[in-house]
Amino acid sequence: MDKHVKVGFIGIGVMGKSMASHLLKAGFSLYVYTRTKEKAKALLDNGAVWKESVAEIAKECDVILTMVGYPKDVEETYLGAEGLLYHAKPGAYLIDMTTSEPSLAIRIYEEGKKKNIHVLDAPVSGGDVGARDARLTIMVGGEEGVFEACKPVLERLGTNIILQGKAGAGQHTKMCNQITIASTMMGVSEAMVYAEKAGLDPEKVLSSIATGAAGSWSLDNLAPRMIAQNFEPGFYIKHFIKDMNIALKEAKALEMPTHGLALAKQLYEQLAKQGEENSGTQALYKLYK
């Protein structure tokens, strides 16, 4: 896939703005659409082209990446009357990087197949830091040939890019990721508050435990934000609750218990009710504090 292809990006949020900027810097012709045009200002100032709707992006671009909020937004973006699948060119590549429902990813893939439109589900992990540094983990579901064709674009966004299986496999893998994070965030929050209440220096404690058996991405990246009382979103609590709901639904379908996930969801919902839904996931610290 050469630099002359027209690339579309829909959804310029906390992560989307960095991801789109990497594609622009890589030399791709970039076309963008997001509900609030102001969010795309920096991209437009640097040469991206604004389009007024999802349908306009679809008609113009050869490859389109989406990073929207909720499964309902994914459904509207792809399957709505003005959606990508009804306006994209035959042979176009559509890559949904939103964390969404595996069943919806399969529906979109099957609809695309009917229209000779190639579809991948490719949710990511790494938060705002991974997006900013182009070091995202990208979990992909879809056909191998389509995956290989889209790799030059995906490689501008991440460093760990793995085809997990057929359509929906990317989303299932992301559920594994979110289930792991749910329990990890409880542990990180508890540990940081415990350190403070025990009269320790949390930064020194972190220096000791981050390189031992307790080490994790969350401990490295989010515990320092807890210590600094920085609760700005690298990943919104409201979106994490959405992800946990999807994971619980999928786990129920698989007839398996997820005790840690269920408790984490309960705690984050309590935090959201206290007005923290637009804070970063590290704000769970406040609940323990």
pLDDT value of position 27: 95
For residues 86 and 184, membership in a common domain is answered with: no
Query: What's the structural domain count of the chain?
Result: 2
- Answer yes or no: is 148 within a domain: yes
Q: What is the pLDDT of residue 4?
A: 78
Predicted pLDDT of residue 168: 98
Provide the Cα torsion 24, 29, 33, 38; round to 10°.
50
Question: Could you say which of 17, 113, 166, 174 is catalytic?
Answer: 174
pLDDT in tens, the chain (289 residues): 666 799 999 999 989 999 999 999 999 999 999 999 999 999 999 999 999 999 999 999 999 999 999 999 999 999 999 999 999 999 999 999 999 999 999 999 999 999 999 999 999 999 899 999 999 999 999 999 999 999 999 999 999 999 999 999 999 999 999 999 999 999 999 999 999 999 999 999 999 999 999 999 999 999 999 999 999 999 999 999 999 999 999 999 999 999 999 999 999 999 999 999 999 999 999 999 9
Does one domain contain both 205 and 81?
A: no
1 lies in a domain? Answer: no
Residue linked to tokens 């963008």: 32
Instruction: List the domain range (segments joined by +) for residue 267.
Output: 172-288
Cα–Cα distance between 42 and 16 in angstroms, integer?
Answer: 12
Last residue of a domain, one of 116, 135, 165: 165
| Residue-level pLDDT at 147 | 98
Please count the helices (runs of H) and the strands (runs of E) in the chain: 14, 9
- Known catalytic residue: 151? no
> CB-side exposure of 31: number of CA atoms within 13 Å?
19
Asked if the structure places residue 155 within a domain, the reply is: yes
Residues 124 and 217 in one domain: no
- Predicted confidence at residue 212, as pLDDT, reads 95
Domain end call among 165, 183, 200: 165
233 plus 203 within the same structural domain: yes
% helix, strand, coil for the chain, step of 5: 55, 15, 30
Contact by Cβ (8 Å): 137, 207:
no
Note whether 216 and 147 are same-domain residues: no
Is 161 found in the same domain as 204? no
CATH number at residue 185: 1.10.1040.10
Domain's final residue, options 113, 142, 165: 165
